[in-house]
Structure 1
Amino acid sequence: MSTLFYRRFNLVWPAIHSVREIIHHYLKQMKISNDDIDNTGLVLTEYLSNLIRHSEGEDGVMTLVIDNINGGVSLTIIDNTQFFEELAKSDKTQREEVINDGVLREGGMGLALINHYFPSYHYFKKGEQNHFCLTLYSSSDRTKVVLIEDELATLKLIENYLSEAYDVYAFDCEYKAQSFLSKHEVDLLLIDLNLNQMIATKFIEQINRYQHLSNIGIIVMSVDSAIETIKETVSVGIDDYVVKPLKKRVYFVNL
């Protein structure tokens, strides 16, 4: 990973225009799709507007970092406002309901808006500073794979297996994955049978409604090797059912 851009800005309204122009320039250079560029501008305008509202006049500052990563670009906004504390104070259950209800909301914390366009965003506090991170991938001819696995160690292992030859979008939350799939064309879905909130067959039935995914390949993976389970899963229209644990040389060489 190499840093393409690093600069501190005062949290004032003109900074939003400057940040958007800089990001547009670098995303174009890195061959990010026009849709992702437009969505990034919308989300960052909303996010920066909230930072300015939570800052203390001219004393508020933020840092924009643009990193070149394997297959794309990482954008990070670093600030020292009370934005993170305000988010942390809100009720977790209520926050998750707002994020996952599918309704776009501008204003406030902008959580639903951010989650709608970039469900894999990261938001965390390190030291005394808040970090808001987005990852965008370059347009590519490589096969695009969405991986859904709620066991993090397994998720990272399979993602590592696949990333050598494919563009991989990995999720440990089915709702974030569904939001991503609703807006992007993908070649293959690799999904664990038993997820956090729903079973894979239910998830597959939902995404089958998306016309732009009519040709997507679907592979379900599970520790359950019972014939009845396999028959029931295959009935929703999948291409393969594989039994865990998965071995790289068996399943991922010619996926």
Structure 2
Amino acid sequence: MNIQCRPATLKKVSSARKEIGETLKKRGVGDHLSNKIQLCFAEAAANLVNHASPQPTFIDVALECQNESWLLHLSDDGQSWNPTLPNRVQTLDTFEEKEGGRGLALIQSLTDDMEYTKRTTFGTNRLTLKWIIQQITTKPTVLIVEDDDSQRRLYSAYLSEHYRIFEAENGEKALAFLLHHPVDLVISDIRMPGMDGLSLKKALHKHTNTLLTPFIFLTFSDNPETRNNALGLGIDDYMVKPVAKMSLMQSVQRVLNRSDQIYRQLTNKINQRITNALTPSLPRSSHGWELAVASRNTGIGGGDLVLYRDTPDFLMLNVADVMGHDVAAKFFSYAYGGYLRGLMYQVEKEDDPCATLLNRLSDCALEDNLLSQVILTCSSIALFNNGHMQIASAGHPAPIKVSANDVQTLDIGGILPGVLYGAEYEVLSLDVKEGERIAIYTDGLFEAAEDNAARQKLTDKVMEALQQTLALPLHEATEAVMQSFEHYGERHKDDATLILLQIAPQEKI
């Protein structure tokens, strides 16, 4: 696929990003990889448009799949910049400093490899970003445990076309295999020398990772005692030899389907419990401030996270947005919540609690094997008495200040958590007056729309609603703004959270 951004403008970059996303979707690329490719393209291209001197007149984009990798090529005629230099991220060059740290370090963290060719007098700069395609087997795995070699080979032949088959000739070898290699189904003979099938099944009950593994017994001996012993172990099917191919295949498919149903039901219950745990809530007032929060959850993973802690000197408020649209992303939201709660108790005595918290969160996200697997943004706010507040941001959308005459985006930004060791965050301090409000939100509030035109309309309407509801009580205003979001946005595309803050009228203090 080839795309031309001529002239090189942010509008052209935005439309090119959409084309890249549509192309990857048609090629069956998963959302996780597609989001990485789109985000890196947008960062690199916007970087050139906003900060290159001289600015490029064009950016040509080529996307190709080659040697089990996706390659994204960007060619331009602007200022040369080499993001592959070893010291580029550590020194935070002028490109990166100007865009709040999201640029080069983010691109390096989200790609598997990159190459750069500096333009000659009449040539172009060329940046190539690379993502290796992970080869994932889609066949369910089945372990066949049978001491008779011919019977074992026969069952393997029956099933090998549709399943990935492993074999074990007795219970001991099967148990050793299963403790280190999880499978989707075990098919086992009952009568075997050494550890028989019944003993194997009992042994699997002692290990958490094999306790619920689906299990089918095969046997020549169909007597009531053997059958009752087998069924008492919670097996999924019991088949009497000789076993026909069609009967075995039907049994395997039925058992796997049932296992999948149970898994999905369990996943849905866990998903709902995590969703309920992540539902944001805030005190109505604290330290002379009034607060209100409203959120809309897609129900498909990810998660906006709102946490607070009331200290003697200030109320700390943290808003995070974990990128992703599956149950795993929602789990990561829950995991990050645990980190944030702990960090909020460590920064109470710091001069700059918000910046310190984000610095420690970033280092945790970089060092932790679990949390480093996802991208998140975070905004940390401290609310003091007399309308004073401090804000620090780690890649999170900038807050909005609303007054009777203006709706203004505050100038605060910072690098995403988990991109650089020892990341430092600036703090914006301001004093809010009566009649003014501060809006803290996640990006779904403005980006949950189909295309650029729809996003612009959504942005205009939400900003308009923020100002038009200034005279309403805080909770009514918050819900009214969210209703505007629901009317002009597409809430199924992303979670959206809005928090409104204002100082309490003097008579209520």
Name the TM-score, length of structure 2 as normaliser: 0.22
Relative contact order (alpha carbons < 8 A, sep ≥ 6): 1 or 2 greater? 1
- Name the TM-score, length of structure 1 as normaliser: 0.44
Q: Which of these two proteins has the greater Rg computed from alpha carbons?
A: 2
